[in-house]
């Protein structure tokens, strides 16, 4: 039994070794074949055909053509000999920009070897596209710097790099690509608009945080002051009154619960087009940044995910990664239910959708907000005039452009 087990182990070891060797050989064959470009394969096939038919038919002209094509192939292969000992330094001035801004960077190539490097071509992938630079002959330890600018027409995360150094012949028959350095993520943030702090949704709560605003009636004691007409006599501080001879009242700091929740629909069916979706993202981003600046707790939900929002940078990075959802992940109605289930203590709930959501669905979504929360439904309707209407317990604000948001919110609070 032991002999059979030992034999089986050896057989398994031999199979694994053979498989590893075959994989290694296959990898090297693929690497060799990968340097041949399509036009190179055509000429190789043509050379073989010329040799075969020239020898079979005895045509001198075909044999001469075969020699010419073969010589051109061999000379082109010589351009692949040697290694490109480039040191690559990819530097982006800023890794976070706003839609429409140009991200400027530099690419520095240094010959780190002891011999000169022949002219080559450098490819810099940028998202789905790429930029190409022609690099001159570099002597040992010589450097060259290439500047580039990345246009940012759309929100998203662009992968810049890694840099590829391309060695090839002038005819474009063969090409060897060597990757250098690491890629860099460029975050293209949505446009946002700044506006003054609003008191939207602050709810006074025994478990809330003390605010700077003073109140005649709360639980966080602040100071004593003289009586003013209308003060509740239950808050008279009798000991101080007896000592000073003046009626003294307790004054309090308001304690507020400031849990701010945003439900941003990313279902394409809730928007008329992609531009309207971008308007919704920008509006949600603007309101979230205002909430963070006001030191509110912010939770942001989209279909099937949450967006981290501990800081403004983290929040905008999350919005940059946001992609439209799939239909099975639900619409604004399902998203409102998710917000209620996960954030039952939210003081403010903002639901953001597009003009494709009709009034009935918007009313149904708004009615699912947590008990006691203030609800604001924000409708992105590109090109529309800003409007404000009341729908059940929710304020419904429609904006046609991002710069309309501050004035629209001011109307809600007026």
Domain boundaries, the chain: 2-80, 86-189, 212-254, 259-413
Give the pLDDT score at 226.
Answer: 87
Going 390 to 395 to 400 to 406, the CA torsion angle's sign is: positive
DSSP 67: H
Ranges of beta strands (E only) in 289-347 are 297-302, 305-307
Q: Residue 184 is encoded by which pair of tokens? A: 């860099």
Does the fold of domain 259-413 match that of domain 86-189? Answer: no
SS3 call for 186: strand
Give the pLDDT score at 251.
Answer: 80
The predicted model scores a pTM of 0.71
Q: Residue 376 is encoded by which pair of tokens? A: 């604001």
Examine the pLDDT at 21 and tell me if it is beyond 80: no
pLDDT band at 37 (very low <50, low <70, confident <90, very high): confident
Which comes out higher in pLDDT, residue 80 or 244? 244
Q: Which residue has the tokens 């940044």?
A: 289
Range with the poorest average pLDDT among 137-151, 198-212, 272-286, 345-359: 198-212
How far apart are the C-alpha atoms of 30 and 96, rounded to whole Å?
Answer: 38
| Kind of pairing between the strands at 86-92 and 120-126 | unpaired
Long-range contacts (CB closer than 8 Å, 24 or more residues apart) made by 209-214:
209/255, 209/256, 209/257, 209/258, 210/253, 210/254, 210/255, 211/253, 211/254, 211/255, 211/256, 212/253, 213/253, 213/254, 214/251, 214/252, 214/253, 214/254
User: Which CATH number applies to 86-189?
Assistant: 2.60.40.10
Give the pLDDT score at 96.
Answer: 94
User: Which CATH number applies to 259-413?
Assistant: 3.40.50.410
Cα–Cα distance list, 142 to 80, 135, 145, 163 (Å): 21, 12, 11, 18
For residue range 224-247, list pLDDT tens digits in order: 888 888 888 888 888 888 888 889
Give the pLDDT score at 23.
Answer: 67
Whether the link from the prior residue into 210 is cis, omega within 30° of 0, is: no
Examine the pLDDT at 324 and tell me if it is beyond 90: yes
SS3 call for 59: coil
φ and ψ at 242, to 5 degrees?
-65, -35
Half-sphere exposure of 222 (CA within 13 A, CB side): 16
Q: Sheet of 348-354: strands edge to edge?
A: 305-307, 297-302, 259-264, 348-354, 374-380, 394-399, 387-391
Q: Residue 285 is encoded by which pair of tokens? A: 């981003």
Ranges of beta strands (E only) in 136-183 are 143-150, 156-160, 163-168, 175-180
């Amino acid at each position: 039994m032991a002999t059979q087990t030992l034999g089986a182990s050896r057989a398994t070891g031999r199979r694994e070794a053979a498989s590893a060797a075959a994989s290694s050989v296959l990898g090297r064959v693929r690497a060799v074949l990968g340097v041949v470009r399509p036009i190179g394969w055509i000429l190789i096939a043509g050379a073989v055909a010329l040799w075969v038919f020239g020898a079979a038919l005895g045509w001198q002209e075909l044999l001469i053509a075969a020699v010419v094509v073969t010589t051109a192939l061999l000379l082109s292969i010589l351009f692949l000999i040697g290694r490109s000992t480039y040191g690559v330094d990819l530097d982006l001035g800023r890794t976070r920009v706003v839609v429409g801004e140009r991200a400027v960077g530099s690419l520095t190539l240094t010959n780190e070897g002891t011999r000169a490097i022949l002219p080559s071509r450098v490819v810099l992938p940028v998202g789905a596209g790429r930029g190409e630079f022609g690099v001159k002959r570099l002597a040992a330890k010589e450097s060259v710097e290439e500047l580039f600018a990345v246009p940012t027409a759309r929100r998203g995360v662009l992968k810049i790099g890694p840099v590829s150094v391309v060695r090839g012949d002038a005819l474009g028959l063969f090409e060897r690509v060597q990757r250098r350095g690491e890629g860099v993520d460029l975050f293209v943030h949505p446009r946002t608009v700044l506006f003054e702090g609003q008191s939207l949704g602050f709810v006074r709560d025994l478990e809330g945080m003390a605010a700077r605003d003073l109140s005649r009636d709360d639980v966080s004691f602040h100071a004593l002051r003289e009586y003013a007409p209308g003060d509740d006599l239950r808050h008279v501080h009798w000991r101080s009154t007896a000592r000073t001879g003046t009626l003294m009242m307790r004054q309090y700091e308001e304690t507020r619960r400031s849990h701010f929740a945003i439900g941003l629909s990313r279902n394409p069916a809730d928007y008329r087009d992609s531009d309207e979706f971008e308007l919704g993202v920008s509006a949600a981003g603007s309101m979230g940044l205002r909430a963070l600046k006001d030191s509110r707790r912010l939770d942001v939900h989209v279909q099937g995910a949450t967006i981290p929002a501990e800081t403004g940078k983290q929040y905008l990075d999350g919005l940059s990664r946001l992609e439209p959802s799939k239909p099975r992940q639900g619409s604004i109605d399902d998203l409102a239910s998710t917000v209620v289930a996960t954030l039952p203590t939210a003081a403010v709930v903002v639901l953001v959708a597009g003009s494709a959501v009709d009034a009935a669905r918007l009313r149904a979504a708004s009615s699912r907000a947590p008990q006691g929360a203030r609800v604001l439904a924000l409708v992105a309707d590109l090109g529309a005039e800003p409007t404000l209407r009341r729908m059940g317990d929710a304020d419904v604000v429609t904006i046609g452009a991002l710069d309309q948001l501050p004035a629209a919110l001011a109307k809600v609070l007026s």
